[in-house]
Structure 1
Amino acid sequence: QVEQFARFLDRLKGIQEPNSDGTLLDRTMVLFGSGMGNANSHTNNDLPVILAGGGFRHGEFMDYPAETRQRVPLSNLYVSMLQQFGLEVDTFSQSTGTLPGLETV
């Protein structure tokens, strides 16, 4: 699945946007992840997700461990994505704000 995801991203990156310096990937947000953080215990804590494209700064691993700060809901990522789409939203589901550390280009 990850190899197919990478191929998909490569294809988006290879398509130049008309009248723009960017690619289709620059204008597309692609979220890839799992519904389980730990398959043995079937928990939905610490979910692994990958966000590509969409005008965000990428190239780093971001970790939000519960031991060092308050647990960050995944819905905070959705709020950040919706705001990047241009929607004026402050909450989504059980969000507590936007995802800390996620920056736009």
Structure 2
Amino acid sequence: MMAVLTASEVTELILAAVNSVPGLRPAMLLSQQNASWIPWDWEGSAVSLDVELVQVRVIALCLPLPPLLELASAAIRPTLAGTPWERAKLRLVVTDIDGAAFSPG
């Protein structure tokens, strides 16, 4: 029998999937540097899990966005298999684009 993953474990898997996509990184709600004294999973704040919707906030480090988001979706979707969020809609929200993405070359 397969063990059921917790929300925290699924969040970690989602973050690893996002981090595996070159050109994207999780978008934290607050800068960890500015609030390092608060014991909180800052990177995990980029993920919201709901039975109907899994939302992942990301920052794009390069362009174009559609291929990056397709890669991220393909990396994230398998992490939801066998979890309560397996059938949830997956929404990727680009909260920011790094200025370097607009540089030529």
TM-score category of the 2 structures, normalised to the smaller one: under 0.3
Higher relative contact order (CA 8 A, sep 6+): 2
More helix by share: 2
Instruction: Tell me which structure has the larger Cα radius of gyration.
Output: 1
Structure (1/2) with the larger strand percentage:
2
